[in-house]
Chain A
Amino acid sequence: MTLMKTKQFEDVCMGDQLPALEIPITVALIAGGAVATRDYFPGHHDKDAAQELGSPHIFMNILTTSGLVQRFVEQWCGPEGRFADLRIRLGAPNYPGDTMMFQGEVTALDASSRTAEVTLKGKNSMGNHVTGTVAVTLP
């Protein structure tokens, strides 16, 4: 673990692509993610309740999506990158059996604060589940 390398601000260029990250969407990830984020809203663990709410199956909660976005960006920048903000917008829901593919690129650099902005999207079979930006401060 301690071998994980963190990008220096000077290592990062505008337009750099983040390594893609594929997330298989499972009942365990959706329900487990909801509980790990203390979100007991029935639509995230109870299929009957989700259908009452107008969805075909349980759907991922936004707090799990935020966690996965942190993972995607942190795996790229390394353990010493520090998150300044994490802004996401949800689109197509993540239902079990689908796969979400994260893509991202560096869209802004601020040398005075050594901060890189990453613009990202996580796409499933129905379109973009999530779009957003993350600002990380680098060593």
Chain B
Amino acid sequence: MSEYDWLSEVRALVGREYGRVYAWDEVNPMMVRQWCEVMGIENPLYTDPEYAKQSEFGELVAPPAMLQPWCLEGLHMNNYPPGSTDENPYEVLGLLEQQGYPSVVAVNSELNFERYLRMGEKLYYTTIIKEVSEEKTTALGTGFFVTQIMPFYSVKEAGDEKVGELLFRVFKFRPAHSKASFENKSAAEKPDATKTDAIPRPYPGISDDTRFFWDGCAKHELRIQHCKSCDALQHPPAPVCSHCQSFDLDYKVSAGTGEIYSFVVMHYPEVPPFDYPNPIGLIELDDGVRMIAGLVGVNISELEIGQRVEVEFTSFDDDLVLPLFRSKSG
């Protein structure tokens, strides 16, 4: 795919290093305490001077995840403290914005800590543009991933000291959804459409041939299709007996016990709403037919072929009942 002509101007910035951006405030206990309050962090190392005195630091230190906020400009964008660079370390994002990619979200933050910060330290960081991706489309929209490297330093008389480094990646994009689409949704669909909708379990496709099975699940009966002509059982349900081709079918209710004939454990990709790792069994029922079903209450590292299992009917999303299989101990 050929790239846009204007991208060469953007790509020319890759590798460029921008000057210092200082912190407005020295590392201080008031901002630390408020940060800990919001995050729900109760480690006394950050807020209790008596406790901190007995630590290897001998005094309060700042939470490591707070490294980047010290140097953010605050309410007014690009309003950096005196002594900071006159350059705009984010000019690459401005260039993309001019080309019609107005939105931005952060996608990666990789913090590396050389040491913890003490109260009173004055920080600054510099910025290196590491990478601008090809144009990509995600669920949010279409745009570019921009990766920056930001080393953080503490100002010292004897020479400034590196205290940590951040790899920060953002997605600068043209949104796939407009504001109007949310407003229409709230008006048309329900009063609280801005509340997120949980992703439901996929529903089975139900046909005249399979309805008896799902009706059985709703009543917590594991129904297996039965041929009235030749007495054979079969699963999954079909319009005709696979043994004698008879159309004269009904069902028997299984005791729901059996053993694991085979299994897989799904790790990737993680698809909501399932929990991962996700164990799935091919169950050989004692009735003689096999059935694929989710496994619950099993220790994945101890799963094995031949393990005894028993059906457990589980309700999802109010009106869906699925037959899952639970390990039968002993």
| B170 nearest CB across to chain A (Å) | 9
Task: Tell whether A66 is near chain B: CB-to-CB under 8 Å.
Answer: yes
Q: Give bound CA distance, A84 to B72, whole Å.
A: 22
A38 touches B72 (CB 8 A): yes
Q: Give bound CA distance, A83 to B64, whole Å.
A: 7
Task: Tell whether B28 is near chain A: CB-to-CB under 8 Å.
Answer: no
Q: How large is the interface on B (under 10, 10 to 19, 20 to 34, 35 or more residues)?
A: 35 or more
B interface vs A, CB < 8 Å? Answer: 31, 34-35, 37-45, 48, 51, 55, 63-66, 68-70, 72-75, 77, 102-113, 116, 140-141, 175-179, 182-183, 185, 193-199, 270-273
Binding site secondary structure of chain A: mixed
A interface vs B, CB < 8 Å? Answer: 1-2, 4, 29, 32-33, 36-41, 43, 47-48, 51-57, 59, 61-71, 74, 79-80, 82-90, 92-93, 95-98, 123-128
A84 touches B39 (CB 8 A): no
Write out the residue numbers on chain A whose beta carbons fall within 8 Å of the beta carbon of B109. 62-63, 65-66, 86-88
Residue in B38, B103, B195 whose CB lies within 8 Å of A29: B38
Name which residue of chain A comes closest to B64, CB basis.
A83
Q: Give bound CA distance, A79 to B43, whole Å.
A: 5
Q: List 26 A-B contacts (CB under 8 A).
A: A1-B48, A4-B43, A4-B44, A36-B37, A37-B35, A38-B73, A39-B72, A43-B105, A57-B196, A63-B109, A67-B35, A67-B66, A70-B64, A71-B39, A79-B45, A84-B113, A85-B110, A86-B111, A95-B194, A95-B196, A98-B196, A125-B198, A125-B273, A126-B198, A127-B199, A127-B270
